């Protein structure tokens, strides 16, 4: 079964062709970074305009790269939600129209379900077994999910305020760190790693909501902001001090991730769930220091009841893409549980409510 999938929930216009055996025939991601850079976030109307321009191009390229005709596609999938209303509308209209014109089955997919099912595709032939934990840390998400089955997910922890990735970006800008093509979060990591850190120069960082399964990184951002302001602005900080602050922030952020993971693992143990895998994905998961920390973290658990193996899916499938949408639609195409062409988008859609509409 060959699926053509479209994704347009935020600022990337994506199209991909994937088969039911897990073959990725094409994966097109058209970024809009240049469009939004001057606004310091996604500009909703500009994003819709860019999707309008890019969607036909993405579809055409996805078919060309896959070396197939649209007539060889067996089903059309698209991101139904959650996401930005105008953006979702572009992918949804394109997918519905294609499906109707071609008389092919249609499936609308939950974006977070798709992120969570990605390791089953990318870790073949040894995929994580349900139930497994998945930590999604990016510019758009800070989410610790328990994946119970293909359609059942439980949110164990998320954040009421800004995502971890956005806070990395803000702290990096606040400290006026050197620009890097990989973005401000990655430049913070590189800056810390570039020279030895004099820890005594940094302010102490708060521990956020100890013992509670909730993430919050704005307190760390505020601590950095207060320190910089009290010293008379970033220009007044020498490089070793900036490095110590960046390092202290990074360490505190990852301490928090570990602390919440420990809580989640004991939550699972108390319920006898037998979780054996921890999947970590999203842009922040490309941080090498975090990877090192997490490897040590799971090594420490090795002989305990909470022992888990760690999976980092490949970076290009951790960020928004249409391969994951195609993959998450597959079980429904195979079961012939497909959607009506009149299906509506769901901009607000909790991943815990996948069943029933």
165 makes contact, choosing from Fe ion, ligand ATP, none, with CB < 5 to 8 Å by partner type, with ligand ATP
In 3D space, the residue among 24, 21, 28 whose CA is nearest the CA of residue 91 turns out to be: 28
What is the size of the binding site for ligand ATP (CB under 6 A)?
A: 21
In the block, tokens 């572009």 appear at: 90
Taking the chain, what is the end-to-end CA distance rounded to the nearest angstrom? 24
Q: Which residues between 119 and 178 bind ligand ATP (CB under 6 A)? A: 138-141, 165-166, 168-169
Residue 286's binding partner out of Fe ion, ligand ATP, none, with CB under 5 to 8 Å set by partner kind: ligand ATP
Which C-beta is closer to Fe ion: that of 195 or that of 352?
352
Task: Answer whether 354's CB lies under 8 Å from 152's CB.
Answer: yes
The residue (of 2 and 9) whose beta carbon lies closer to ligand ATP is 9
Q: Does 320 bind Fe ion (CB under 5 A)?
A: yes
- Identify which of residues 118 and 286 has a Cβ nearer to ligand ATP in the complex: 286
CA gap 267, 271 in Å, rounded = 7
Identify which range of 93-101, 158-166, 211-219, 317-325 contacts Fe ion by CB under 5 A: 317-325
Kindly report the length of the chain.
357
For residue 25, cis peptide bond before it (omega within 30 degrees of 0): no
Beta bridge partner(s), residue 170: none
Map the footprint of ligand ATP across residues 6-65, applying CB under 6 A: 10
Please choose which of ligand ATP, Fe ion, none residue 184 contacts, taking the beta carbon within 5 to 8 angstroms, the exact cut-off set by kind: ligand ATP
| From 185, 248, 252, 346, residue interacting with ligand ATP (rule: CB under 6 A) | 185
Residues 130-149 that bind Fe ion (CB under 5 A): 140
Q: How far is the CB of 341 from ligand ATP (least distance, A)?
A: 28
Please provide the DSSP assignment of 253-296 as one string: HHHHHHHHHHHHHHHHHHTT----EEEEESGGGG-HHHHHHHHH
H or E segment at 53? helix 44-66
For the chain, how big is the Rg over CA atoms in Å? 21
Q: Is 339 in the site for Fe ion (CB under 5 A)?
A: no
Neighbours of 71 (CB within 10 A): 7
Contact 79, 6 (CB under 8 A): yes
- 3-state class of 320 per DSSP? coil
Backbone angles phi, psi at 233, to 5 degrees: 95, 165
Strand ranges (E), 35-182: 75-81, 106-110, 132-137, 142-147, 153-157
The 262-301 contact track toward Fe ion, x by CB under 5 A, reads ----------------------------------------
Cβ nearer to Fe ion, comparing 259 with 320:
320
Tell me whether residue 169 or residue 259 sits nearer to ligand ATP (CB atom). 169
Near ligand ATP in 294-323, by CB under 6 A: 319-320
Q: Which of residues 55 and 275 has its CB atom nearest to ligand ATP in the complex?
A: 55
How crowded is the C-beta side of 19, counted as CA atoms within 13 Å? 7
Residue 189 lies near ligand ATP (rule: CB under 6 A): yes
Q: With respect to ligand ATP, which residue has the nearer C-beta, 84 or 275?
A: 84
Burial (0-12, 13-18, 19+ Cβ within 10 Å), 5: buried
Q: Which is nearer to ligand ATP, 133 or 253 (CB)?
A: 253
Does the footprint of ligand ATP cover residue 94 (CB under 6 A)? no
Q: Name the residues that contact Fe ion, by CB under 5 A.
A: 140, 320
Q: In the complex, which residues of this chain contact ligand ATP (CB under 6 A)?
A: 10, 138-141, 165-166, 168-169, 183-186, 189, 282-284, 286-287, 319-320
């Amino acid at each position: 079964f060959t699926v053509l999938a479209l994704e347009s929930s935020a600022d990337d216009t994506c199209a991909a062709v994937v088969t039911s055996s897990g073959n990725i025939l094409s994966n097109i991601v058209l970024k809009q970074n240049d469009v939004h850079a001057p606004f310091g976030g996604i500009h909703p109307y500009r994003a819709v305009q860019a999707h309008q321009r890019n969607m036909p191009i993405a579809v055409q390229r996805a078919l060309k790269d896959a070396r197939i005709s649209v007539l060889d596609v067996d089903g059309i999938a698209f991101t139904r939600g959650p996401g930005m209303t105008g953006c979702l509308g572009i992918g949804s209209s394109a997918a519905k129209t294609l499906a109707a014109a071609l008389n092919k089955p249609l499936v609308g997919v939950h974006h977070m379900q798709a992120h969570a099912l990605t390791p089953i595709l990318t870790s073949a032939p040894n995929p994580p077994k349900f139930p497994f934990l998945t930590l999604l840390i990016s510019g758009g998400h800070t989410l610790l999910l328990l994946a119970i089955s293909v359609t059942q997910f439980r949110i164990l922890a998320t954040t009421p305020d800004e995502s971890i990735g956005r806070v990395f970006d803000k702290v990096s800008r606040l400290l006026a760190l050197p620009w890097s093509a990989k973005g401000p979060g990655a430049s913070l990591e590189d800056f810390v790693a570039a020279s030895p850190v004099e820890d005594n120069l940094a302010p102490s960082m708060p521990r956020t909501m100890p013992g509670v399964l909730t993430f919050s990184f704005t307190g760390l951002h505020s601590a950095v902001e207060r320190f910089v302001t009290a010293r008379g602005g970033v220009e007044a900080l020498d490089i070793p001090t900036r490095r110590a602050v960046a390092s202290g922030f990074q360490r505190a952020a990852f301490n928090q991730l570990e602390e919440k993971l420990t809580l989640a693992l004991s939550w699972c143990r108390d319920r006898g769930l037998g979780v054996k895998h921890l999947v970590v994905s999203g842009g922040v998961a490309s941080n090498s220091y975090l990877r090192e920390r997490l490897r040590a973290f799971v090594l420490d658990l090795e002989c305990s009841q909470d022992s888990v193996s760690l999976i980092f899916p490949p970076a290009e499938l951790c960020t928004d893409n249409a391969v994951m949408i195609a993959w998450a639609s597959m079980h429904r195409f195979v079961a012939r549980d497909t959607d009506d062409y009149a299906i509506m988008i769901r901009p607000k859609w909790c991943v815990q409510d996948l069943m029933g509409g």
